[in-house]
A = this chain, B = another copy of it.
Amino acid sequence: MKVLVIGGDGFCGWPTALYLSDQGHDVIVADNLSRRTIDAELGIESLTPIRSMEERVAAWKEITGRTIGFVHLDVAEEYDRLLEIFRTDTPDAVVHFGEQRAAPYSMRSDTTKRYTVDNNVRGTHNVLAAIVEAGKDIALVHLGTMGVYGYGWSGSAPIPEGYLTVKVPTPDGDLEREILHPANPGSVYHLTKTLDQLLFAFYAANDQIRITDLHQGIVWGTQTDQTALDERLINRFDYDGDYGTVLNRFLMQAAIGHPLTVHGTGGQTRAFIHIRDTVRCIEIALTNPPAAGDKVMVFNQVTETYRVRDLAELISGLTGVEVANLPNPRREAAENELNVSRDRFVALGLNATTLSEGLLSECRDIAQKYRDRADTTKIIARSVWRKGMETSPDLVK
């Protein structure tokens, strides 16, 4: 299968590109390298020493003999070039990771709010419009987020995979209707993924584009079998307050002896997935697309749920590093339960990687190895949901 991976330089995109190539697919990466430019803007770097895309794909070729194409392309800004790729390269499918993906960054300032909306909505819509204009049957797999559903909205019912059957009262009695799960986004970033959903629903119906939306949990881990083959293939590891994901941040903090930063009570329950499962899920989605004319196919791409403070206590118990309870810069419920349906990937053969001491220590070893690259002034989360919200000072010098 020929696959265009938009955003294939990023934390999920790069290991996905390698995995798909390893599985024998013909992979082209399109990326505007925005994570690298945002790193520069924030004055941070991946904890791991990631290489340029040119060096990455050359190393992959050298090690495996397989070719991954790379196009430096901004799908939000360069529609005509994107359309030309669809017309001339005619991929069978597109995997679309090309969105600004950090909730804290999306709340950082009016500039980052606007960038997140403009980049994400415009990019997604350009992909859809270009598929229609190219007139080719190109399936689309998009990375959504569990955050579209909100937390606790459904009471004791598990969060369904995309759609909810509700009863609508009418003068003639209740009417059963299947609806897209109501949107309850917790940040401008999550908001853009709820906008994407409406774009997808329209284009699936009007233009019969085959679309799969993957509502992913919080990704943890760094390496996959492919990125671990050579240091030149290493995946990025974000630990800063905007882009670092919670479990990876705890593992990195443990590795450098920094208190584990829990915001608020830590009672937030969230869904998780290891990066090794992310890449498998993408391939399962690619090889099981909906038919033309079908509604958007939605998967919940998660394997486990944990309460944040339980994760902190687990890592603290393993490493002896203390937990620090800091002010919460987000507007969110202090505590929530979370029960997520994830039957579809299981039915399609996903043998889930669960949180294990081995995987935790693998990740901590990576953090340990590159600990000298850490900038401890970038660890505390300081992007606040409303101006004036309290944040913590740095905990270590």
A residues with a Cβ closer than 8 A to B are: 79, 83, 110, 113-114, 117-118, 121-122, 125-126, 129-130, 132-133, 135, 153-157, 164-172, 174-175, 177, 179-180, 182-183, 185, 188, 191, 194-195, 198-199, 201-202, 206-207, 331, 385-387
Contacts and interface: CB of A to CB of B under 8 A. Distances in A.
Given A133-B110, A135-B387, A182 B180 contact: yes
B182 A157 contact: no
Given A198-B194, A202-B185, A154 B125 contact: no
A223 to B, nearest CB: 35
A164 B157 contact: no
A198 B191 contact: yes
Contacts of A154: 168, 170, 175
Contacts of A169: 157, 165-167
A207 to B, nearest CB: 7
6 contacts: A79-B110, A118-B118, A121-B121, A157-B168, A157-B169, A180-B182
Contact of A118 (B122, B130, B179, B201): B122
Contacts of A121: 117, 121-122, 195
A329 to B, nearest CB: 13
A198 B110 CA distance: 18
A157 B174 CA distance: 10
B135 A113 contact: no
A126 B155 contact: no
B153 A132 contact: no
Contact of A177 (B113, B122, B182, B201): B182
B114 A129 contact: yes
A180 B182 CA distance: 8
B180 A156 contact: no
A172 B79 CA distance: 49
User: Top 4 A-B pairs ranked by shortest CB distance?
Assistant: A157-B170, A166-B166, A167-B167, A110-B133
Contact of A110 (B118, B129, B157): B129
Contacts of A168: 154-155, 157, 164, 166
Given A167-B169, A183-B198, A188-B202, 16 more contacts: A110-B130, A113-B125, A121-B121, A122-B122, A135-B387, A153-B177, A154-B168, A155-B175, A156-B170, A156-B172, A157-B171, A164-B168, A167-B174, A177-B182, A179-B179, A195-B195
B183 A191 contact: no
Contacts of A79: 110, 114
A202 B83 CA distance: 32
Given A157-B171, A171-B156, A206 B122 contact: no
A167 B170 contact: no
Contacts of A207: 386
A193 to B, nearest CB: 10
Contact of A182 (B165, B171, B172, B179): B179
A170 B156 CA distance: 6
Contacts of A117: 121-122, 125, 199
B185 A198 contact: yes
Contacts of A387: 135
Contacts of A165: 169
A89 B3 CA distance: 51
